[in-house]
Amino acid sequence: MDPESLETPNLGYVWASVSTVAFITTNLLLRSVVPQSARNTKQQEWKWRNTANSFLHSVITGIWACGCFWQSPEIRENLISIYTESSHHLLSVSVGYFIYDLLDIGLNHRKRSSYELMVHHIVVILCFGLAVSTRYYLGYGLMALLVEMNSIFLHVRQLLLIQGVPRGHLLYRLNSLFCLGTFVVFRIATLGWMTRWLVFVRNQLTTTAFTMGSLAMPIILVMNIVLFLRILNADYCGKRSSRDCSYVQQLAVEEDEGLDPAGGKDA
């Protein structure tokens, strides 16, 4: 890392704070655009707003992460000490989003299916927070944010379910194909590679960084594999995959399978 970059003020905390406020604001603004099909209950309306906000985060951070690698390809060769303002700002913005989402879910959706997601968010905040505060491991954080390319389709899937679109609908089926394809590439393959990288460079990492990575990566990787199998079963293998269901019926199925629209999202 350029020594001069360490001498400049770390504005990551400012970016994270602004991001948290921004996502809280967009969540409130989304109240005016909730479709009628998602207004049957207050809980349904909240789920739509929460998922739409998460979709916005995925679009921004997924494309931004790809842009960082395109703009500074040297990051791929050094995930530890290469520093760019863009990557530092991106991770800071993402920390702000996960703080917002953790609070939103904790206040509005304290159910069994959400506790797993809340643990995931806490782990991500700690790991990304380390990168933001030290300005190291930004490349590793960018790799993690590539999973948001899959989250775009995962959130669209959730929005369709919340609005009562049946699983047999053409739009749902097409999105499901993109969801599963990008899941394998941007989640399972990417997270598997990151776990392998962590093992091979353990001697270059601080004890804190290696410990956090060693605890976080297996948890997140296993959670994503389980999520993939749940989606595959719900959309293609389950008895309900080809049956038209009402929103209430679909939501009950998602709850039972651990795929509640408020859960199983974001890396």
pLDDT digits (tens, 9 = 90+) for 200-253: 898 888 888 888 888 888 888 888 888 888 888 888 876 554 444 444 444 444
User: Beta-carbon neighbour count of residue 24 at 10 Å?
Assistant: 16
DSSP 263: S
pLDDT for residue 267 is more than 50: no
Burial, 103: exposed, middle or buried (Cβ in 10 Å; 0-12, 13-18, 19+)?
A: middle
Query: In angstroms, rounded to a whole number, what is the distance separating the alpha carbons of residues 163 and 246?
Result: 9
* H-type alpha helices, 72-169: 85-108, 112-134, 138-145, 148-162
Assigned domain for 172 exists:
yes
Assigned domain for 11 exists:
yes
Token pair 């775009």 is at which residue? 152
For the chain, the 3-state helix, strand and coil shares in percent, each to the nearest 5, are 80, 0, 20
Range of the domain at 175: 3-257
pLDDT of residue 7: 66
pLDDT for residue 152 is more than 60: yes
pLDDT for residue 113 is more than 90: no
Per-residue pLDDT, averaged over 37-51, amounts to: 93
Assigned domain for 100 exists:
yes
Assess contact for 151 and 265: CB atoms under 8 A.
yes
pLDDT digits (tens, 9 = 90+) for 64-109: 999 999 999 999 889 999 999 999 999 999 999 999 999 999 999 8
Assigned domain for 266 exists:
no
As for how many domains the chain has, the answer is 1
Assigned domain for 103 exists:
yes
pLDDT for residue 136 is more than 80: yes
How much is the pTM?
0.84
Assess contact for 45 and 38: CB atoms under 8 A.
yes
Assigned domain for 153 exists:
yes
Assigned domain for 262 exists:
no
pLDDT of residue 2: 54
Q: In angstroms, what CA-CA distances link 170 with 154, 166, 220, 253, 254?
A: 16, 9, 31, 20, 20
Assigned domain for 264 exists:
no
